[in-house]
Amino acid sequence: MRGINKAFPGVRALDNVSFDCRAGEVHVICGENGAGKSTLIKVLGGIYAPDAGTVLIDGNPVRFGHPLEAREAGVGIIHQELSLLPNRTVAENLFLGREPTRYGLLDRAAMRRGARALLARLASPIDPDLPCGRLSIHEMQTVEIARALGLAARILVLDEPTAALDAAESERLLALVRRLRADGVALVYISHRMAEVMAVADRVTVLKDGRNVGTAPRAALSVPDIVRMMVGREVSEMYPAPLADASGEEVLRIERAGNGALSGIDLTVRAGEIVAVAGLEDSGKSLLTRAIFGDAPFTSGRVLLGGKPVVIDSPRRAAASGIGFLSEDRKGEGLALRQSVRDNALLTLRAFAPSLADAFAGALSARRADAVLRSADVRTAAYGGPVELLSGGNQQKTIIARWLTRAPRLLLFAEPTRGIDVAAKAGVYRAMRDYVAGGRAILMASSDLPEVIGVADRIVVMRAGRIAGELPAGVTEEQVMALAVGAALEEEPRAPA
């Protein structure tokens, strides 16, 4: 890609960016949100046409008018949002749009054979007859990659593929990436996770504000180098220091609680503390936050808030009792995407206002909303514009602002920085630390081990719906992982579908 320019109303998304990727190479693109990564990928994938510049494949200039043309030219893109049909089988998904037929009827035997062959190329044991909805996220990604390979993709773009994966699954994905590299596929890999970048990249390109600020072999770069290029300054302290004394009074105590998916949960959270819940993808750490918030409530045991026993059986009761919740699915559950930033910030406040209150008057006024949004450091041209136009980091801060309007004693925070770039992460961590400094507490569920270790005052590790153990701050990733996977370092067999 040579000298690519692309502008949107008011934004210069790409400014003379050149980028190349060779066969059998993993080329990582780093950059903050809004740096132009996705725009660059969309130009490559034929979703956007560049204003200026040329895309060359095998040295020949190409112009894509439609995503299909890019696909036919051998470009496969695995987006963050997976596009598989949950109710159709793996084989049906793999051959979607190009089903083999015999005498005018679908040739299901051929589909199954072809599916097995494609999956075998990725050394994946996935059963082609399973509906995709029963697969884990990692398995779905594998199916998407297999589909791209089935379309003879020679250039494969992976857009933050590990964002939704836990550590063990990420490791498997990286192994898959290496395997594809050995096969001679040109891989463009977008990631925020520095450990991953260092583990898999052959070359690294950093984008900032729509410009290519540098391309270099990985061996010539260190993590601080890359971070400095991304943010244009040193991020000396990614994680703010914890308070000297974080042993305030008890905010939350759970005694022998459980429900269908969780059992024997004993847990306390104190004022001034950030407690992290770590664990593999299906360990129950996100279900724990949902149980406390009353979304999928506990059915046994006791929950005490500030020493008083409470029954929380709905999110509304949780919010009324002083518990806030930030979902890991920011777009699906956290935000009303088409509504304004301001409306999103006021959502909970309005939910607890008298029914007949004027939605724009008094305590709910725009000025109050704007003040809260500013205090949460939400940056956008207009708070009246739709929240879907904001970057991931600013969207997350909008939801933090929403809870600031009620300032609950306990904030449940699932995957606080999923899909958020490095510089914005530091901002979120600072906001979290500020939040608990006022005698409040945060219980954070996270799949990002460096984040768990860097942020938490205490780490609770979950495994198979139970609490496997508790670790103090300052432990290593290996210690957390050992607890998360259990003594025998083996994956439990998947339950037959």
Partner 1 sequence: MRRLSVPSVPLALILGSLLAFSATAVATHSNDQLTWAGLGGLIERMVALGIVALGQTFVILARSIDLSVAQVISVAAVMASFVMQGRVEMIGPAIALVLAISVVVGLANGLLVARARINPFIATLGVGLCLQGVLSAAFTDFAGSVPRGFQVLAYGSAGGVPLPILLLLLLTTLCWLVLEHTRFGAHLYAVGGNAEGARQAGIHTGRVLIAAHAVCSVLAGLAGLYLAARLRSGAPWIGRDGVYDLQSIAVAVIGGTLLSGGRGGVWGSFAGALLFATLDAMFTMLAVDPFFQQVLRGVVVIAAVAAYSSRSRLLVA
Per CB under 8 A, 362 contacts partner 1: no
Rounded-to-integer distance, Cα 108 and Cα 120, Å: 18
Instruction: Choose which of 3, 184, 224, 260 interacts with partner 1 (CB under 8 A).
Output: 260
The piece of 104-112, 248-256, 322-330, 465-473 that touches partner 1 (CB under 8 A) is 104-112
Token pair in block for residue 162: 């590990």
Shortest reach from residue 265's CB to partner 1, in Å: 17
Contacting residues for 361 by C-beta, under 8 A, at least 6 apart = none
* 210 in Cβ contact with 53 (< 8 Å): no
Per CB under 8 A, 179 contacts partner 1: no
Query: Which residue, 37 or 71, has its beta carbon nearer to partner 1?
Result: 71
* 427 in Cβ contact with 397 (< 8 Å): yes
Per CB under 8 A, 244 contacts partner 1: no
Per CB under 8 A, 329 contacts partner 1: no
Rg (CA), the chain: 24
> Which residues, numbered 261-300, are part of the site for partner 1 (CB under 8 A)?
261, 296
Shortest reach from residue 204's CB to partner 1, in Å: 28
> Which residues, numbered 56-75, are part of the site for partner 1 (CB under 8 A)?
67-68, 71
Write down the residue that tokens 């300052």 correspond to.
474
Binding map of partner 1 across residues 182-221, x = CB under 8 A, - = no contact: ----------------------------------------
Per CB under 8 A, 494 contacts partner 1: no
Is the sign of the CA dihedral 55, 61, 67, 70 positive or negative? Answer: negative
Instruction: Choose which of 85, 120, 152, 175 interacts with partner 1 (CB under 8 A).
Output: 85
Instruction: Choose which of 18, 52, 83, 434 interacts with partner 1 (CB under 8 A).
Output: 83
Shortest reach from residue 380's CB to partner 1, in Å: 26
The piece of 29-37, 77-85, 160-168, 173-181 that touches partner 1 (CB under 8 A) is 77-85
The piece of 84-92, 173-181, 271-279, 405-413 that touches partner 1 (CB under 8 A) is 84-92
Shortest reach from residue 135's CB to partner 1, in Å: 14
Reported as half-sphere exposure (CB side, CA atoms, 13 A), residue 235 has a value of: 22
Is the sign of the CA dihedral 477, 479, 484, 490 positive or negative? Answer: positive
Per CB under 8 A, 106 contacts partner 1: yes
Write down the residue that tokens 């083996």 correspond to.
490
How many CB atoms are located within 10 Å of the residue 46 CB?
22
The piece of 94-102, 275-283, 328-336, 385-393 that touches partner 1 (CB under 8 A) is 94-102
The piece of 82-90, 171-179, 249-257, 393-401 that touches partner 1 (CB under 8 A) is 82-90
Per CB under 8 A, 224 contacts partner 1: no
Query: Which residue, 96 or 235, has its beta carbon nearer to partner 1?
Result: 96
Rounded-to-integer distance, Cα 272 and Cα 411, Å: 11
* 440 in Cβ contact with 248 (< 8 Å): no
Shortest reach from residue 20's CB to partner 1, in Å: 25
Contacting residues for 244 by C-beta, under 8 A, at least 6 apart = none
Beta strands in 316-357 (DSSP E): 323-326
The piece of 1-9, 100-108, 329-337, 375-383 that touches partner 1 (CB under 8 A) is 100-108
The piece of 103-111, 239-247, 394-402, 473-481 that touches partner 1 (CB under 8 A) is 103-111
> Which residues, numbered 116-175, are part of the site for partner 1 (CB under 8 A)?
127, 129
Bridge-partner residues for 467, per DSSP? 462
Per CB under 8 A, 86 contacts partner 1: yes
Beta strands in 18-87 (DSSP E): 26-31, 52-57, 60-62, 75-78
Rounded-to-integer distance, Cα 204 and Cα 217, Å: 6
Residue-by-residue DSSP string for 409-432 = SEEEEESTTTT--HHHHHHHHHHH
Rounded-to-integer distance, Cα 402 and Cα 256, Å: 32
- Which of these, 241, 264, 239, lies nearest to 449 by C-alpha position? 239
- Interaction site with partner 1 (CB under 8 A): 67-68, 71, 83-88, 92, 96-99, 101, 104-106, 108, 127, 129, 260-261, 296
